[in-house]
Structure 1
Amino acid sequence: MSTTTGPRVQRFSGAIAGVGSTSGVRVVVGAWHTSPLGAFADAMVATAGGRRLLLAPSRAVAEFVASTYTFDEVRVEPFAADVAADGWRVRSDSLELTLDVGGRTALGAALRLVPRGLAGSPAFSTLTDPVARLLLRGVRTRGSAGHGRREYYGALDHHAVVRARGSLDGVDLGDLAPVDPEPGFGFSSTPVRPSVTRVVSTVVLPA
């Protein structure tokens, strides 16, 4: 799949893991195997007090993501995500996170029925947005986090996360919990149920 479909359209293919914790910290990790910035992983973290952090592997990634979403602090640091079907292992200077991934959900089974080319298109994301808002609290498949950019999420698959453990700035995160309240990074939230979603994200830049 092409990483760009025009000078103003940027496409990212990969997976997003969203989890909450009993400490109140909520983490959304993106593992992108195809993007205009190359392959990379990053994390958006909301603390128990509501502070929003971006952990990015490079200044270029930090600038792009921070121009698409909203954060209180941006940290550029070495960042790695080892992604497998049964689990993720995430490491950076600030964050350590290990996720055990379970089976495909009913939503994932339904998503798998949609042809990939259709599911990843902005037009289809526009059609599915009312359904997503109705069925998944806080989730939208199109919208804007501000900064003059619009984004479309095309979901391709969905698996439950069944266990999480790790630390933020050396402080233990506790046990797995729902992603609640919404982290507030942008127009859409990860599902409340801890999960991994395979997605195509299309960002339209302002003219």
Structure 2
Amino acid sequence: MTIKGPARRRRLRFEGWIAGLGTSSGTRVVLGHWQRSPFGAFSDVMLERADGERLLLAPTRETADFIGATYVFDAVEVVPVRVGVAEDTWTVTAGSLALRFVTGPRGPVGLLLRIVPAALARRPAWSALTDGPARLLLPGVRTRGSAGAGRREWYGARDLRPVRLLSAFYEGADLGAPAPVDPPVRFGFGSVPRKPALTRVTTTVVLGPG
């Protein structure tokens, strides 16, 4: 993606879902399923192995370059990333990764987030206000911080659902049963919730001089 014009702060907004998943093999997976973004609709996968290797699976060179500049990875692969959603069941294929998970009913936090208006979730002030409660209720989670390449980023959550069932294979190997996202993933300034979950978010990335 080429950003033209004089240097100044620019806000790029991504609206969709983030799934944070742990497995008993120690591999943790973060799926981004973006229904609206500067790149159009797309999905990507961030995967951290038990030995700490961090891998990005992105569908185009353009999205791979942008995400790779915003977060930290040891390897980047441009591969088809396909996501299917049928009621509570999500099916994902991304290169050598095959993933299927099922969400459960919302808890109290999810029910509260459902009433947050979309316009409010986009505001930096809202992310600043919710950062403290998020850290307290969801250890490892932060709603704002510094990203790569001098970028700033904030998240506005609008829904949260637990993941009840999970099946995952990478390079033909079974990644095991669902497990907490532990240790936290290390792609950026914060992790996903420790308990496997699916979160609806509005993510804003600010480019340009700070």
**Relative to structure 2, which stretch is displaced further, 35-44 or 79-88?**
79-88
Shift of 1:106: 1.4
Gaps of 5+ in 2: 1-7
Name the % identity.
Answer: 53
**Relative to structure 2, which stretch is displaced further, 70-79 or 141-150?**
141-150
Residue number in structure 1 paired with 2:22 = 20
Looking at structure 2, the residues matched to 149 and 38 of structure 1 have their Cα atoms a distance apart, in angstroms, of: 21
Looking at structure 1, the residues matched to 156 and 19 of structure 2 have their Cα atoms a distance apart, in angstroms, of: 15
**Relative to structure 2, which stretch is displaced further, 104-113 or 172-181?**
104-113
CA distances 1:34-65 after superposition (whole Å, capped 9, x unpaired): 00001000000000111000000000000010
Amino acid at match of 1:116: A
Q: Number of paired residues?
A: 202
Amino acid at match of 1:197: T
Gaps of 5+ in 1: 1-5
Looking at structure 2, the residues matched to 14 and 148 of structure 1 have their Cα atoms a distance apart, in angstroms, of: 24
Looking at structure 2, the residues matched to 121 and 84 of structure 1 have their Cα atoms a distance apart, in angstroms, of: 31
Provide the TM-score with structure 2 as the length reference. Answer: 0.93
Shift of 1:83: 2.6
SS at match of 1:70: coil
Residue number in structure 1 paired with 2:94 = 92
Shift of 1:133: 1.5
SS at match of 2:12: strand
Looking at structure 2, the residues matched to 25 and 160 of structure 1 have their Cα atoms a distance apart, in angstroms, of: 18
Contact 1:70/1:145, CA 8 A, preserved across alignment? no
Shift of 1:145: 2.7
How do 1:10-159 and structure 2 match up within 5 A? 10-159=12-161
Shift of 1:169: 1.5
CA distances 1:148-195 after superposition (whole Å, capped 9, x unpaired): 011000000000100110211111111100111011010011100100
More strand by share: 1
Contact 1:27/1:46, CA 8 A, preserved across alignment? yes
Shift of 1:7: 6.8
Contact 2:98/2:170, CA 8 A, preserved across alignment? yes
Provide the TM-score with structure 1 as the length reference. Answer: 0.94
Amino acid at match of 2:165: R
**Relative to structure 2, which stretch is displaced further, 6-15 or 85-94?**
6-15
Amino acid at match of 1:71: F
Q: Cα RMSD (Å) of the superposition?
A: 1.3
